[in-house]
Amino acid sequence: MKLKLSLNKMKKEILYLAWPAIAEQALLTITQIVDMAMVGRLGADAVAAVGFSMQPLFFGMAIFASLGVGAVALISRFVGANEHKKASKVLGQAVNMSIFLGLLYALVIFFLSEKIIIFLGGEPSVVSLGSSYLKLISPGLVFMLLSFVMTSAMRGAGDTLIPMKVNVLVNVLNVAGNYILIFGKMGFPALGVDGAAISTSISRFVGMIITLVVLFRGKSRIRINTGDFYPFKLPLVTRILNIGIPSSMEQLAMRIAFIFFVKIVASLGTVAYAAHQIAINAEAISYMPGFGLAMAATTLVGQNLGAKKPKRAEISGYESLKIGIFIMGFMGIVIFLFPNYLMAIYTSDPEIIKLGSVCLRISALGQIPMATFMVVSGGLRGAGDTRFIFYVTLISTWVIRIFFSYFIVIKLGLGLFAAWWAMVLDWSIRGFLVLWRFKQGEWKNIRV
């Protein structure tokens, strides 16, 4: 009876941590759809310019995610051990690094903006729009990275509600700003693509300021003081990077693999690629529970290890996984039963709907493996076991998504559906390997 009550309490704790992150991710997805719809009214060149510009931005955030992952692992441990001053010191050092790296990356983007768009294949009419967009959004990169690190720290301390509220405000401001500045409303000039960039930078700045105020006033579960920023503590920075760099390498390896995978699918023709891209967008809703539960697992595993409760850390990982399998398994059933309706949200082309519906049915079979990888890897990150996840991602995505996909899709001529079966195989291999690693229990002894 006592064990049952304890498990019920843990499930409530998991859901309490997970739902704001899920809601935040859902709103972000909706915001991106609305943003692209607004830009889409400006024409194909504008859409292409923003699309090209997003690539270096996502690439940079993937690399600098190391600061957030490393900070979360350490902060959750210190909070679990009731060493809040040490947790604050970690955040202060992570903020210092994010300012330095954010400024450096922003300068690179600003001065190389035109060359970046040309390198990515932008036509002359797109290069000028994309270059201007990158220059105007480059200051926002600093604000974005700072906000990312600070909200990650809050989540590591067990506060997912405030980051959600801040990001809700940021996204609402971004959408409103886009409408005003893109189309010239409320007395402002119509700035087109430039308006979208300015709106994004302003909304990110507002989010950063609010987050800083919350942390300095101690309104979250972690507080920051001016003394946490200096002096520069190399040993602490090294600890953050030792955990975070493998996570950055994981994201880098995955994004490169995805680029090659897209090229493989694109070689099948416009209709096949359109069906693939729309199916990816339709499936994206299933990622949201996995994202939120992975965050919950990261926080609870880290905090329980910090509190010297490795068994409870293990149970929290498994309970998060059970919830993830239940929710994403249910979403898999919905995707399998109603793929045509999901595709019809994005297109009315019968051929694209037909192809995409088969892709979605295939992806439905990968929902449980996907949940396993996302949630369990979240738990391993909370323990600081980021190297293993990097190796698994590197090997599986490159071997399966690149080489195996190329062989079955291009060489054997099995087409688009084979590419999606390869995706399911990739998720299954990664899910199996991280679950095996978690069951081994070596992560309980990792020193961070």
Burial 175-184 (b: 16+ CB within 10 A, else e): bebbbbbbee
Q: What is the overall mean pLDDT for the chain?
A: 89
Question: Does residue 57 contact residue 87 with C-beta atoms inside 8 Å?
Answer: no
**Rounded distance between C-alpha atoms, residue 367 and residue 361, angstroms:** 11
> What average pLDDT does the segment 375-390 reach?
95
> What average pLDDT does the segment 251-280 reach?
85
Q: For the segment 305-359, what is each residue's pLDDT rounded down to a tens digit?
A: 999 999 999 999 999 999 999 999 999 999 999 999 988 887 788 898 999 999 9
Q: For the segment 13-50, what is each residue's pLDDT rounded down to a tens digit?
A: 999 999 998 888 788 777 777 777 788 778 878 877 88
> What average pLDDT does the segment 270-298 reach?
87
Q: For the segment 109-157, what is each residue's pLDDT rounded down to a tens digit?
A: 999 999 988 887 777 888 899 899 999 999 988 998 899 899 989 999 9
| Contacting residues for 404 by C-beta, under 8 A, at least 6 apart | 422, 425
pLDDT at 51 over 90: no
Q: Which of 138-147, 243-252, 275-284 has the lowest mean pLDDT?
A: 275-284
Share of the chain above pLDDT 90, in %: 58
pLDDT at position 266 is: 83
pLDDT at position 3 is: 53
Question: Does residue 190 contact residue 182 with C-beta atoms inside 8 Å?
Answer: yes
3-state secondary structure of 309: coil
Q: Is the dihedral of CA 135, 137, 139, 142 positive or negative?
A: negative
pLDDT at position 93 is: 93
Residue 291 has a CB neighbour count (10 Å cut-off) of 19
pLDDT at 61 over 60: yes
**Rounded distance between C-alpha atoms, residue 315 and residue 324, angstroms:** 14
pLDDT at position 42 is: 84
**Rounded distance between C-alpha atoms, residue 238 and residue 259, angstroms:** 31
Residue 4 — very low, low, confident or very high, per pLDDT cuts 50/70/90?
A: low
**Rounded distance between C-alpha atoms, residue 402 and residue 396, angstroms:** 9
Domain boundaries, the chain: 20-232, 247-445
**Rounded distance between C-alpha atoms, residue 81 and residue 214, angstroms:** 23
**Rounded distance between C-alpha atoms, residue 436 and residue 448, angstroms:** 21
Question: Does residue 422 contact residue 373 with C-beta atoms inside 8 Å?
Answer: no
pLDDT at position 273 is: 84
Q: Which of 60-69, 92-101, 246-255, 392-401 has the lowest mean pLDDT?
A: 60-69
pLDDT at 8 over 60: yes
Question: Does residue 178 contact residue 195 with C-beta atoms inside 8 Å?
Answer: yes
The single-letter code of the amino acid at 347 is T
**Rounded distance between C-alpha atoms, residue 331 and residue 447, angstroms:** 37
> What average pLDDT does the segment 261-265 reach?
86
